[in-house]
Amino acid sequence: MAKMHYLCDFTLLGEAAEPPRLSYATQMIGAQLEWPETKGEGISVAVLDTGVDLHHPDLKHIAGAADMTGEGVQDKNGHGTWCCGAIAANGKMMGAASECDLYAVKVMKNDGSGEVKHIIAGLKWCLENDIDVISMSLGGPKPSDPEYHQVIKQLYKKGVILVTAAGNYGAMFPSDNTVMYPAVWPECIATIAVDIHKDLAPFSSRGSEAEIGAAGKDVWGLWKGGQYVKVSGTSMATPCLAGAVALLQAKAKFRRGSKMDPDTLRWLLQMYAEDLGAPGRDRKFGFGVFSFGRFDQPDSPGVELKFKVGSTRYWKNGEEKQAHIAPFIKSSRAFLGLRDAGEALDCQVDGSNLPFITVKR
């Protein structure tokens, strides 16, 4: 058992052909606030996972992939593709750091299991290829092979930031310390998961090693086969935070001409995290949820409305609806009833106090 690690358990909740452009997890980090200055360019990020869907339209720009398992880099699980997308998607969805140099390093098999020797090989690959940030949404019990921790120490000493999943055993053992390895080790950032309201996700592992939180419940992202799905798990919070780290390093490189060492960057994450639990660091939230700005937007797909001149029929995201009045053209300008437009956008339109009309959502 000690020789094996597994993906941090995740729950597949739904699929969509038209996902939101930005997941609420990306918005909660405030990644878009940094994009006018940088989208992570010049920073190399490796996702150690189940590989990647090389044909996903939102990941055509990835810098490279490597396989340590013998199964090939193509992701037949989906987990690795989701994690890659959270960091660097650039298509229908946008990851937190879409212009970083993203590498998918397959260390976990298609069934979600992974041998420690493959994870070590993946970490060594990162060491040899000058990776700046590593995202690891995997974990297990304390490994018997001391080389695992040794290579992580080497990476940290070299300046590599390791963002790791705390685990998903909080609901089963709420009073116990359930943070998994490698997140337990002091060189790793143990990432916990919160929901859209910044409440601790019930499944999120707890313990003294918990360091920083990010959104990990009901989050949209990429999937194998060019799909988009909504999933939950600390697996989801980890790459979101890794994307934020890539933005911070890119910003440091641009402004100072050099990247931050791991200690300095972690101090910055801790100081700017929103403290959500007991004052200071606590076993549930760590230092809190990091963000470049406070989050106040829901996670919902965009709305596409299609009206036809002269017809009371219209379509909302492809579904046929019925309007009160038909749109018409006058002097080359299109006119549409306010009530129809408001209700189509799920707003309440109140005309009972004419001449005032109120639109609320």
Element (H, E) at 320: strand 319-322
Query: Residues near 217 by Cβ (< 8 Å), separated by ≥ 6?
Result: 193, 194, 195, 196, 201, 232, 236
* Residue 49 designated active-site: yes
Active-site position among 5, 67, 75, 79: 79
Classify residue 96 as exposed, middle or buried by CB count within 10 Å of its CB (0-12, 13-18, 19+): buried
Place of tokens 């060189």: 187
Alpha-carbon gap, residue 26 to 292, rounded angstroms: 11
Taking Cα atoms as reference points, which of 248, 269, 246, 213 lies closest to residue 28? 213
Tokens of 329: 């053209």
Whether 304 and 332 have beta carbons less than 8 Å apart is answered as: no
Tokens of 202: 């019930």
Alpha-carbon gap, residue 337 to 345, rounded angstroms: 13
Whether 125 and 151 have beta carbons less than 8 Å apart is answered as: no
Whether 4 and 115 have beta carbons less than 8 Å apart is answered as: yes
3-state secondary structure of 358: strand
* Residue 199 designated active-site: no
Do the bridges between strand 4-7 and strand 138-139 make them parallel or antiparallel, or are there none, so unpaired? antiparallel
Active-site position among 235, 291, 299, 340: 235
Phi, psi of 334 (to 5 degrees): -90, 135
Active-site position among 23, 49, 299, 340: 49
Alpha-carbon gap, residue 328 to 237, rounded angstroms: 48
* Residue 235 designated active-site: yes
Query: Residues near 32 by Cβ (< 8 Å), separated by ≥ 6?
Result: 22, 26
Tokens of 212: 């920083």
Alpha-carbon gap, residue 205 to 176, rounded angstroms: 9
Tokens of 224: 């194998």
Q: Where in the sequence numbering do the catalytic residues fall?
A: 49, 79, 235
